[in-house]
């Protein structure tokens, strides 16, 4: 008999769906001693909540997250609500002894995130942050190649995350579906939303960032706010680019924007090492570009890997070579790895501490953009 892991999900938006799908699906494709049980889902709009619960098979609903956190029949709290609510919920959940899976970025800033880390450490509860792109097979393959030393000394890291959905000045800010444009709910714009992904991946693949020099811009200065109905100043950054120096001596450029026509969700990274280079692109996430200088000169070129073979990460659990998996699978993998961590006693990552490390970089980036100076990144103690 499998051990039930009773999930209490807070939030039924885009991420609520992605997480629900992961819980529903993981057991069909990955073995575990644990079985995810969709015990309860929580949100404020009861009518919508019931529809959502019915569709996904949640056994019960709550409209107050405090009640959900207090329930005895919940093992794990999954936080899939706007950023400004993460800290309070997570700290309460930790106090209640629940495992916690929290959407990214971990908090509005490093200060908040530190408290969350303290809370889970004190409570000794398993915890993880939903930086799901670490679980794309091609990204894990990149990690393997780096860890095997194939790239040698790293000279360069470059990442960007480009979108184009907020160019229209008539798009309002705030409220359902648009809280990411409201600085109170989101904390920042593309920096905390998109660059946080790029930063998390980079810390995982390339180690610590020492210092950054950043610039940000808000192209559309005012937008109607959906909650107040008034045209208000836009507080978020529409675009952000920064230079960085990693502890391993490599140089980096990072950039994100929601004003890049033609790019829907173009998260790319490239790493150039002494011997080899790697490139990945979320728009074709099942592919990895790999260049190995040790190949014979005449036939040396970027290898376009179709990451769908059984000897590539996670793939033996899916279909057959040549058949691609997609975005949602990264969440399934994250749950599978979380369950493996529970079973093995080696917790899966990124945990809250990793989330804090990314928040420290985000803080430094925003500070640098304000001050116009190179800014040191706070280190995790």
| Residue whose CB is less far from a copy of itself, 164 or 340 | 164
Distance CA 233, CA 235 (A): 6
| Residue whose CB is less far from a copy of itself, 91 or 278 | 278
Binding to a copy of itself by residue 171, rule CB under 8 A? Answer: no
| Residue whose CB is less far from a copy of itself, 123 or 282 | 282
CB of 34 to a copy of itself, least distance (A): 14
Binding to a copy of itself by residue 255, rule CB under 8 A? Answer: yes
Query: What is residue 154's DSSP assignment?
Result: E
| Residue whose CB is less far from a copy of itself, 99 or 365 | 365
Among 3, 122, 303, 379, binds a copy of itself (CB under 8 A): 303
CB of 329 to a copy of itself, least distance (A): 7
Site residues for a copy of itself, 60-89, by CB under 8 A, read none
- Backbone phi, psi, residue 111, to 5°: -60, -50
Binding to a copy of itself by residue 33, rule CB under 8 A? Answer: no
Binding to a copy of itself by residue 47, rule CB under 8 A? Answer: no
Among 264, 316, 370, 379, binds a copy of itself (CB under 8 A): 264
Bridge partners of 118, per DSSP, are: none
Binding to a copy of itself by residue 170, rule CB under 8 A? Answer: no
| Residue whose CB is less far from a copy of itself, 271 or 348 | 271
Among 71, 143, 184, 306, binds a copy of itself (CB under 8 A): 306
| Residue whose CB is less far from a copy of itself, 82 or 126 | 82
| Residue whose CB is less far from a copy of itself, 237 or 351 | 237
Binding to a copy of itself by residue 227, rule CB under 8 A? Answer: no
Contacts of 209 (CB under 8 A, 6+ apart): 199, 202, 203, 244, 245, 246, 247, 252, 361, 364, 377
| Residue whose CB is less far from a copy of itself, 257 or 358 | 257
Binding to a copy of itself by residue 334, rule CB under 8 A? Answer: no
Among 47, 170, 230, 297, binds a copy of itself (CB under 8 A): 297
CB of 31 to a copy of itself, least distance (A): 9
Binding to a copy of itself by residue 49, rule CB under 8 A? Answer: no
> Which of 93-101, 104-112, 195-203, 251-259 is the region at the interface with a copy of itself (rule: CB under 8 A)?
251-259
Task: Give 224-231's long-range contacts (Cβ < 8 A, gap of 24+).
Answer: 224/172, 224/173, 225/172, 225/173, 225/174, 225/182, 226/172, 226/173, 226/174, 226/175, 226/176, 226/178, 227/174, 227/175, 227/182, 228/174
| SS3 readout for 216-261 | EECCCCEEEECCCCCEEECCCCCEEEEEEEECCCCEEEEEEECCCC
Contacts with a copy of itself, 107-146, as mask; x by CB under 8 A: ----------------------------------x--xx-
Binding to a copy of itself by residue 276, rule CB under 8 A? Answer: yes
Contacts of 27 (CB under 8 A, 6+ apart): 35, 36
Contacts of 175 (CB under 8 A, 6+ apart): 182, 226, 227
Q: How far apart are the first and last CA of the chain?
A: 41
3 state DSSP class of 313: coil
- Backbone phi, psi, residue 338, to 5°: -65, -45
Containing H/E element for 100? strand 99-102
Q: Tell me whether the omega of the peptide bond preceding residue 273 falls within 30 degrees of 0, making it cis.
A: no
Site residues for a copy of itself, 9-28, by CB under 8 A, read 14, 18, 20-21, 24-25, 27-28
Binding to a copy of itself by residue 221, rule CB under 8 A? Answer: no
Among 272, 332, 342, 353, binds a copy of itself (CB under 8 A): 272
Distance CA 242, CA 361 (A): 11
């Amino acid at each position: 008999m499998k051990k039930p892991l009773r999930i209490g999900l807070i939030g039924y938006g885009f991420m609520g769906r992605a997480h629900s799908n992961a819980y529903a699906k993981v057991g069909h494709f990955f073995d575990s001693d644990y079985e995810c049980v969709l015990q309860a889902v929580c949100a404020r709009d009861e009518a919508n909540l019931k529809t959502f619960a019915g569709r996904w098979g949640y056994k019960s609903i709550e409209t107050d997250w405090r009640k959900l956190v207090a329930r005895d029949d919940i093992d794990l709290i999954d936080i899939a609500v706007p950023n400004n609510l993460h800290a309070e919920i997570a700290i309460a959940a930790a106090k209640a002894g629940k495992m916690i899976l929290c959407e990214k970025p971990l908090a509005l800033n490093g200060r908040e995130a530190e408290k969350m880390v303290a809370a889970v450490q004190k409570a000794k509860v398993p915890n993880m942050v939903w930086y799901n792109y670490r679980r794309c097979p091609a990204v894990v393959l990149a990690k393997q190649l780096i860890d095997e030393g194939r790239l040698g000394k790293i000279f360069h890291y470059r990442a960007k995350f480009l979108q184009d959905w907020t160019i229209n000045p008539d798009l309002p800010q705030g409220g359902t579906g648009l809280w990411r444009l409201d600085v109170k709910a989101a904390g920042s714009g593309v920096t905390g939303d998109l660059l946080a992904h790029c930063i998390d991946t980079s810390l995982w693949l390339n180690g610590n960032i020492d210092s950054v020099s950043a610039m940000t811009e808000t192209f559309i200065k005012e937008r109607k706010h959906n909650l107040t109905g008034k045209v208000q100043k836009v507080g978020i950054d529409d675009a952000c680019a920064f230079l960085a120096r990693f502890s391993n001596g490599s140089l980096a450029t990072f950039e994100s924007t929601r004003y890049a026509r033609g790019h829907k969700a173009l998260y790319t990274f490239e790493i150039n090492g002494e011997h080899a280079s790697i490139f990945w692109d979320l728009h074709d996430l099942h592919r990895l570009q790999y260049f190995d200088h040790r190949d014979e000169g005449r036939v040396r070129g970027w290898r376009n890997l179709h990451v769908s073979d059984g000897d590539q990460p996670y793939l033996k659990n899916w279909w057959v070579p040549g058949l691609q998996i997609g975005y949602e699978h990264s969440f399934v993998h994250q749950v599978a790895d979380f369950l493996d961590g529970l079973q093995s006693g080696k917790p899966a990552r990124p945990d809250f501490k990793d989330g804090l490390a990314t928040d420290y970089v985000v803080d430094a980036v925003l500070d640098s953009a304000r001050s116009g100076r190179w800014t040191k990144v706070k280190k995790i103690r």
